[in-house]
């Protein structure tokens, strides 16, 4: 079962989101906070959220662009939070995690986070700050210093080597997690670009393929990433 919802955000505003519940799973079940790409909470992110529910997780995808004002302003505020590593979007995500933890279907001791593109950067930020059991970080922003990841939970992730903007961050993330002694499974896929797990529309796909990030769905990398991610979550949250 899945539905559009609203809940109280840390900014004293209502936050919209998409909630997917597993049909047949243990009760209470593990849960995942799903953080969308820069283009927002669209049909593709809803599909990914439902796929987590099919795997047995209560999955919540909060809409980070729920705030007041025009959408471009919401996007700018959200990106500012990501750059400064503090701000309203982070408070909203923590509110979403707390709301998820209070759901009667959820085992609050087994919550993880999965982020894609912009959401990958936020997932890595939450992995340090929030009580999470595991984090999935796909082609998102990675800090420059290992100390910024000190205290992080176990991390699984993937990056596309053809992505000239975020691809190099994959190797940096692996090195920092090795240095910190954090359990991780991060892979750099040589034939993939940015957003290789997402199905965008034909116009965005054509434009993305021409960008330095070489944005586009890659079936082989996506399948392997889903396999590794669900296995990692099962080990740390299952």
Q: Residue 92 is part of which domain span?
A: 2-159+219-236
Confidence grade of residue 210 (pLDDT, cut at 50, 70, 90): low
Structure-block tokens of residue 100: 């998820």
What is the DSSP secondary structure assignment for residue 45, as one 8-state letter?
A: H
Q: What is the pLDDT of residues 68-93, one digit of tens each?
A: 677 778 888 888 888 888 888 898 99
Distant-in-sequence, close-in-space partners of 73: CB < 8 Å, separation ≥ 6: none
Domain-located, residue 104: yes
The rounded distance, in Å, linking the Cα atoms of 117 and 102 is 27
What is the DSSP secondary structure assignment for residue 58, as one 8-state letter?
A: E
Domain-located, residue 172: no
Confidence grade of residue 107 (pLDDT, cut at 50, 70, 90): very high
CATH number at residue 58: 3.40.50.1820
C-alpha to C-alpha distances, 213 to 132, 134, 192, nearest whole angstrom: 30, 27, 10
Beta bridge partners of 112: 32, 134
Domain-located, residue 190: no
Domain-located, residue 192: no
Strand order in the sheet with 29-35: 2-8, 14-20, 58-62, 29-35, 106-116, 134-138, 155-160, 184-189
Q: What is the pLDDT of residues 11-35, one digit of tens each?
A: 667 889 999 999 875 689 999 999 9
């Amino acid at each position: 079962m899945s539905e559009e919802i609203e809940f109280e955000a840390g900014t004293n505003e209502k936050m919209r989101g998409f909630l997917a519940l597993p049909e047949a799973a243990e009760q209470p079940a593990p849960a995942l906070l799903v953080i969308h790409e820069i283009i927002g909470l669209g049909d593709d992110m809803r599909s990914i959220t439902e796929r987590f529910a099919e795997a047995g997780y209560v999955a919540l995808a909060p809409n980070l662009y729920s705030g007041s004002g025009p959408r471009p302003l919401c996007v700018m505020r959200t990106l500012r939070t990501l750059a400064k590593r503090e701000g309203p979007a982070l408070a909203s995500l923590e509110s979403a995690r707390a709301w998820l933890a209070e759901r009667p279907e959820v085992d609050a001791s087994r919550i993880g986070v999965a982020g894609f593109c912009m959401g990958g950067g936020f997932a890595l930020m939450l992995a340090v700050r929030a009580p999470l059991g595991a984090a999935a970080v796909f082609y998102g922003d990675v800090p420059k210093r290992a100390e910024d990841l000190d205290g992080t939970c176990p991390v699984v992730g993937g990056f596309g080597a053809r992505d000239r903007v975020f691809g190099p961050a994959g190797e940096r993330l692996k090195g920092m997690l090795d240095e910190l002694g954090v359990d991780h499974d991060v892979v750099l896929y040589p034939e993939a670009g940015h957003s290789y797990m997402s199905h965008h529309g034909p116009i965005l796909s054509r434009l993305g393929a021409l960008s330095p990030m070489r944005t586009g769905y890659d079936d082989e990398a996506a399948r392997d990433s889903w396999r590794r991610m669900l296995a990692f979550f099962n080990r740390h949250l299952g």
